[in-house]
Amino acid sequence: MPNLPVVSIVIPCRNEEQWIASCLDSIIANDFPKDKLEVLVVDGMSEDGTRAVLDAYACRYPFIKIFSNPNRVTPVAFNIGIRHARGDLIMIMSAHATYALDAIRKCAEYSNQYNADNVGGVWKICPRKNGLLDKGIGLALSHPFGVGGARYRTGTDTEPRWVDTAAYGCYKREVFSKVGLFNERLIRGQDMEFNLRLKKAGGKTLLVPDVVINYYARSDFVSFIKHNFRNGVWAIVPFLYSPIMPVGWRHLAPLIFILGLLGSAVLAMLQPVGMAAFLGLGGAYVAANLAASAHIVLKERDVRCLAVMPVVFASLHLSYGIGSLCGVAKIVSAMAGRSWAIGQARS
């Protein structure tokens, strides 16, 4: 590709001592010319040894620069990096991921070839440990039954395709002048809301199957549950802060499932038809869960997966759905508080 663009990589980071070196090593090993590259790591006041690792890399590699993020939240880190970036393309990366040796070059090439405003790759979900449960969590997070139609997680065809969103994308610089920066009120889901805002403004996001991102997901069970609960909360709370629908419909499916279970359970106490609805909904979910688990067993050729996949899938959906229900409660509470404040102001 002649006349290579300058690429600025922005990495939000907090307490990533265990992973940040692997991330930076994979970037350094990339085949993209280093005189056309800058790496801006935005540290959220890490309390482990992360900052010492970053300082060592910055001393050794002049194209790596370190910034501080006193707010300690991801969208603020994104925006700090973007404001300091000098690149024609601005690429968001995760601190607990590693990248294929040609990932940066391919993002630049596809951005130019397709005139895409955002180019993203496909995640290869990797467990952080080697246990069966760790493997099951990684498989659930890359299976359509686990995460719906998120193509950047489940994979795509052999050819690039236009999509609504892609995690950790590579954006044209002018996108941020056109659409604005990331919404700093969104603790989670800020990348999806940004990409949907980009689409509404006429921008295009390209998902490229041969740009590979090795993403190291949380694989201990308690962290997995907590993480998905928080994701569920922040699938709903952004409706308070965004002028557009900030998430895709697939993010609302666990909430609809939980509401269906609760509604039919209440109805079951009043009418026999309620019990039929409850058993029908629960039975349909169990059947779908077992079918997806069996599909994984066949794909992985590992019958042991059948012992963990139904539990992992159910835990993923229930924790996310309950989190979303709590998100609804937060919105109702916030709206009630606003109404009360308006009433007080008028009285």
The string of pLDDT tens digits covering residues 138-147 is 999 989 999 8
What's the CATH code of the domain at 28? 3.90.550.10
Q: pLDDT (tens digit, 9 = 90+) per residue, 245-278?
A: 777 778 899 999 999 999 999 999 988 898 999 9
Give, in order, the Cα–Cα distances in Å from 127 to each of 113, 133, 134, 273, 339. 34, 9, 5, 43, 46
Q: pLDDT (tens digit, 9 = 90+) per residue, 295-338?
A: 999 999 999 999 999 999 999 999 999 999 999 999 998 877 66
What's the chain's average pLDDT? 90
Shared-domain flag, residues 36 and 183 = yes
Residue located via tokens 């760790």 = 134
Shared-domain flag, residues 12 and 95 = yes
Are 80 and 67 contacting, i.e. CB atoms less than 8 angstroms apart?
yes
| Mean pLDDT in residue range 60-74 | 97
* Domain-terminating residue out of 203, 218, 233: 218
Note whether residue 225 is domain-resident: no
* Domain-terminating residue out of 218, 241, 259: 218
* Domain-terminating residue out of 218, 240, 265: 218
Shared-domain flag, residues 188 and 314 = no
Shared-domain flag, residues 136 and 263 = no
Note whether residue 325 is domain-resident: yes
User: Residue 346 has what pLDDT?
Assistant: 47
Note whether residue 296 is domain-resident: yes
User: Residue 1 has what pLDDT?
Assistant: 53
Shared-domain flag, residues 55 and 193 = yes
CA–CA dist 129, 317 (Å, integer): 22
Q: Does residue 339 or residue 116 have the better pLDDT?
A: 116
Note whether residue 316 is domain-resident: yes
Contacts of 6 (CB under 8 A, 6+ apart): 36, 37, 38, 86, 87, 88, 89
Whether residue 343 is predicted with pLDDT greater than 60 in this model: the reply is no
Note whether residue 46 is domain-resident: yes
Shared-domain flag, residues 164 and 257 = no
User: Residue 345 has what pLDDT?
Assistant: 44
Q: Is 65 exposed, middle or buried (0-12, 13-18, 19+ CB in 10 A)?
A: middle
Shared-domain flag, residues 323 and 185 = no
User: Residue 212 has what pLDDT?
Assistant: 87
User: Residue 58 has what pLDDT?
Assistant: 97
Q: Residues for the chain: how many in total?
A: 347
User: Residue 158 has what pLDDT?
Assistant: 75
Number of domains composing the chain: 2
This prediction has a pTM of 0.86
Whether residue 156 is predicted with pLDDT greater than 70 in this model: the reply is no
In angstroms, how far is the first alpha carbon of the chain from the final one?
Answer: 67
Whether residue 95 is predicted with pLDDT greater than 80 in this model: the reply is yes
| Mean pLDDT in residue range 192-217 | 90
Residue 246: how many CB atoms within 10 A of its CB? Answer: 24
Percent of the chain with pLDDT over 70: 94
User: Residue 191 has what pLDDT?
Assistant: 87
Note whether residue 285 is domain-resident: yes
Are 13 and 22 contacting, i.e. CB atoms less than 8 angstroms apart?
no
Shared-domain flag, residues 184 and 319 = no
Note whether residue 1 is domain-resident: no
Range of the domain at 307: 249-346
Shared-domain flag, residues 62 and 211 = yes
Whether residue 342 is predicted with pLDDT greater than 60 in this model: the reply is no
Shared-domain flag, residues 12 and 160 = yes
User: Residue 2 has what pLDDT?
Assistant: 60
Shared-domain flag, residues 155 and 28 = yes
Side chain identity, residue 130: N
Shared-domain flag, residues 44 and 175 = yes
Query: In this structure, what is the dihedral angle of CA atoms 165, 170, 173, 176, given to the nearest 10 degrees?
Result: 30
Note whether residue 83 is domain-resident: yes
